Amino acid sequence: MNKRSLLQSALALALAAGFATGALAQDKPLKIGVTAGPHAQIFDQVKKVAEKDGLKIQVIEFSDYVQPNAALAAGDLDANAYQHQPYLDAQVKDRGYKIVSVGNTVNFPMGLYSKKVKSLNELKEGARFGLPNDPTNGGRALLLLQDKGLVKLKEGAGLKATPLDVVSNPRKLKFVELDAAQLPRSLDDLDASAVNTNFAISAGLNPVKDAIALENAKGPYVNVIAVREADKNKPWVAKLLKAYHSEEIRKFIDAEFKGSVLPGF
C-alpha cells in the first residue's frame, strides 16, 4: 500500500471515529434541571416530544431556586428551566455565572394567599405578611402589594425593591422574609403571604381558586430556559426549544393548569 493509500485509510478511520463519537454523544441524555411541580410536569411532556426528534432528556428536580444555576454553571446540568429573566440576571450579576437564556417557557402569575382572610380588605393592622427572601421575587411581591394598594414604594425602587423601599404602609404590615419554597408551608403562621405559583401548586393550592389576589399575567416575569454561554448555539439547544414551543406542549399547559400557568411563547 502506497503512502497516499495509507493517508486516505487513516483519514477514513479518523472520520469514522468522529462519527462514532458524535453518535455516542447523542445517545447521552441532556440533563435538564427543573423545580418540582409544574416545571417538572411540563418537562416530562417536553421529553416525549423531543425524543421524536432524536433528543434524549433526563429531567432532574430541585427543591430550591439556588442549586439549579450552580449545577448548570458547574457543568452538572446541560440546561435548566425554572426561573424568570430578572432572577437569572441577578444571579449572573451576583455570582458571575456564564449563563444565558435561550428561550421563553411559561409565566406563573404570583399570588397572594391566606388561611385567615378571604380578601385583602380583611387584613388587620400589623398583619404578618410573608415575602420571598431572594431579591427578585421579594421585589416582585412588593410590586404586587403596591399594585393592590397595600403599600407604596419609593420612586425608582424597581424590580429589586425590598421592605426598606416601602415609604407608605397604612396597615403597618410586618414583613416576614422566608425562602420561597417555605412560604406555602408557613401560611398557618402568617396572616397572608406572596407565593410563587410553582410552589403554590406543589403545596396543593390552586392559584385561580385559592389566591386572594393574582399578579397581572403580562410583565417581565416570563420563565426561561438557560444554558451555559458556550452552549447557546449548539444544535441541541434549537431542538430543545422546538420541542418546548410545540403545539403539543401549549395544549398540555392549557389543559393541565387551566389558567394558573400560562404559555410564554
Same topology, domains 12-108+220-263 and 111-214? Answer is yes
Domain 111-214 indexed as CATH 3.40.190.10:
yes
CATH superfamily ID and name for 12-108+220-263: Periplasmic binding protein-like II (3.40.190.10)
- pLDDT tens sequence across 192-230: 999 999 899 989 999 989 999 999 877 788 999 999 999
Distance CA 100, CA 204 (A): 32
For residues 101 and 72, give the distance between their C-alpha atoms in angstroms, rounded to a whole number: 12
pLDDT per residue over 126-148, tens digit each?
999 999 999 889 999 999 999 99
* Nine-digit cell string for 252: 398540555
Q: What is the mean pLDDT of residues 65-85?
A: 97
> What backbone phi and psi angles, to 5 degrees, belong to 262?
-120, 135
> Under 8 Å CB-to-CB from 11, ≥6 apart: which residues?
none
Contact yes or no for 30/253 (Cβ under 8 A): no
Whether this prediction's pTM lies above 0.85 is answered by no
- 263/217: higher pLDDT: 263
> What are the structural domain ranges in the chain?
12-108+220-263, 111-214
- Give the C-alpha separation, 73 to 196, whole Å: 24
Residue 8 pLDDT more than 60? no
CB 193 within 8 A of CB 186: yes
